[in-house]
Amino acid sequence: MRLNGPLSILRAALLVLLAGHHRCVSGSYTPPEALENNGTMFAVCKVRPSSSLPSGLLKVTGQVLFRQDEHEALEVLLRFNGLPKEGAQDARAVHIHQYGDLSHGCDSTGGHYNPEVVYHPNHPGDFGNFVPQQGKINAVIKSQASLFGDQSVIGRAVVIHEKIDDMGRGGDTGSLLHGNAGRRLGCCIIGISSSTLWNMHHKQYTRRLRKN
Ligand SMILES: [Cu+2]
Ligand SMILES: [Zn+2]
């Protein structure tokens, strides 16, 4: 009987340890923002021209918005301005890069975020090519990237490039690393947000789709 006290404390301590361990291993941790939004996470990335670009090059601005229900695919709403009106057929590549570090403009964001160590274009943030219309890109896509778990892209960067992504078909090393998409025009760091921006801009986007 005398052992009951210390034993029950030990058992409680063990349970707490196991619970903590289980949480890490299963990746079942749900961020508080998702709990507030019925399991949905939102994020935002405000695109600015790269500070390391030579002057005279395109000044691309924009916003990339993210929405994801836990265990569902990530939706991404991409909005870019400042692209040329002529040569509108020139598609631009957009990717998630490894580092959320803009200390040397978009050049310090590292290579493509590549948690599974695979070739391009199989990285989770290989969003592909987008053709501007009247100097703008407006698109909604589904992506393999995630706002949840060990491979969350929160804190990493979105980069828009000068050129088209060859999607790994260029026949050289660069193609399998980054799609030979050229210089980095603009970029931003992905941060957790409320649902406000997504709700507003997604509504505008679908309204515009219905009109066209
Ligand atoms: Cu890139
Ligand atoms: Zn890639």
Q: Count the residues in the chain.
A: 212
Predicted TM-score (pTM) of the model is 0.86
Res. 15 pLDDT band, cuts 50 70 90 = very low
Q: What residues sit around ligand 1, an ion, with C-beta below 5 angstroms?
A: 95, 159
21 is an active site residue: no
pLDDT at 18: 43
Higher-scoring residue by pLDDT: 59, 85: 59
**Residue spans of beta strands (DSSP E) within 99-165:** 103-106, 126-130, 137-143, 157-161
User: pLDDT confidence of 2, banded at 50, 70, 90?
Assistant: very low
Give the residue-averaged pLDDT of 59-69.
Answer: 97
Q: Could you give the 3-state DSSP secondary structure of residue 192?
A: strand
What's the angle, vertex CA 124, arms to CA 67 and CA 37, rounded to 5?
20
Q: Give residue-wise pLDDT tens across range 47-58.
A: 999 999 988 888
Exposure letters 32-60 (e unless 16+ CB within 10 A, then b): ebbeeeeebbbbbbebebbeebeeeebeb
Number of structural domains (the chain) is 2
Model confidence pLDDT, tens digit, residues 152-174: 999 999 999 999 999 999 999 99
Q: Domain check: are 15 and 42 in the same one?
A: no
Of the residues 120, 156, 166, 178, only one is catalytic, namely 120
User: 37 and 10 in one domain?
Assistant: no
Task: Tell me how far the alpha carbon of residue 120 lies from the centroid of ligand 1, in angstroms.
Answer: 10
Range of the domain at 19: 1-30
Ligand 1 geometric centre to CA of 53 (Å): 15
Question: Which residue did the predictor score with more confidence, 58 or 46?
Answer: 46
pLDDT for the residue 94: 98
From the list 67, 79, 97, 156, the catalytic residue is: 97
Do 76 and 197 touch, CB atoms closer than 8 A?
no
Tokens 């990339």 — which residue? 64
71 catalytic residue (yes or no): no
**DSSP, residue by residue, 151-167:** TB-TTSEEEEESS---T
Rounded Cα distance between 30 and 23, Å, is: 10
Average pLDDT for 68-77: 97
112 is catalytic: yes
pLDDT at 45: 98
Looking at the fold, whether 98 and 140 belong to one and the same domain comes out as yes
For residues 53 and 85, membership in a common domain is answered with yes
